[in-house]
Amino acid sequence: MPDAREPAAAKPAVRSADALLDRWEAAWSGRDAAAFAPLCDPAVQYEDPLTREPLIGVDELAAHAGLLWQGFPDVRVERAGERLGDAAGRFVAAPCKLAGTQRGPLDGLPATRRFVVVHAVVWCELRAGRLLRVRAFFDRYDAAVQLGALPAAGTLGEKALLALQGFGLRARRA
């Protein structure tokens, strides 16, 4: 029996993208920069909370992945829920999780040797069965807390950090 919450036509479109997204996750987990080329349109655009601007092309995407692999040599990206897409098969949202131990430097942060699990949603636009635009959404603050770079919410450390930034001082002056 079809799921009453979504049009019946949407399920086959998502299923057709499943193999592509499984290979996308395997490319991130496999530490093989060449694995992105057959999955992506030559003009692929990629962005996530750690990119300063959209990355254009497979080479920039592979270089970005290389930074992740340097910091997290055991990283793996896994499916974390049902993928959702439009009936035409042009757009798909894929929940996933990244898990690994930071054993190398990452954007100026020295190795913490901490294991992290970061949940994300990857929003994809497809063209001719390949990834054209990919945008990953995840909680950068939570990742920094897991790495020990920022204090957890509600802790004395967070209150001290906010006071240093002026938030605690302003509240008392008023």
Residue 107, pLDDT score: 84
> How would residue 56 be classed by pLDDT, with cut points 50, 70 and 90?
very high
**Exposure class string for 123-146: b at 16+ Cβ within 10 A, else e:** ebebeeebbbbbbbebeeebbebb
Residue 117: phi, psi to the nearest 5? -130, 120
Domain ranges of the chain: 10-138
Question: CA 172, CA 174: separation in Å to the nearest integer?
Answer: 6
For Cα atoms 83, 89, 91, give the angle at the middle one, nearest 5 degrees: 65
CA geometry: angle at 123 spanning 33 and 104, to 5°? Answer: 40
User: What average pLDDT does the segment 42-58 reach?
Assistant: 97
Q: What is the pLDDT of residue 160?
A: 76
Average pLDDT over residues 121-137: 97
DSSP 148: T
- Which CATH code fits 10-138? 3.10.450.50
Q: What is the pLDDT of the chain when averaged over all its residues?
A: 88
Q: pLDDT, tens digit, for every residue of 1-12?
A: 445 554 444 455
Letter for the amino acid at 60? E
pLDDT at site 9: 45
Query: Which has the higher per-residue pLDDT, 109 or 77?
Result: 77
Q: Is the pLDDT of residue 173 over 50?
A: no
- What was the pLDDT predicted at 50? 94
Least confident segment among 9-13, 103-107, 138-142: 9-13
In the three-class reduction of DSSP (H, G, I as helix; E, B as strand; rest coil), residue 109 is classed as strand
> Quick one: residue 137, left, alpha or beta (phi over 0 = left, psi -120 to 50 = alpha)?
beta
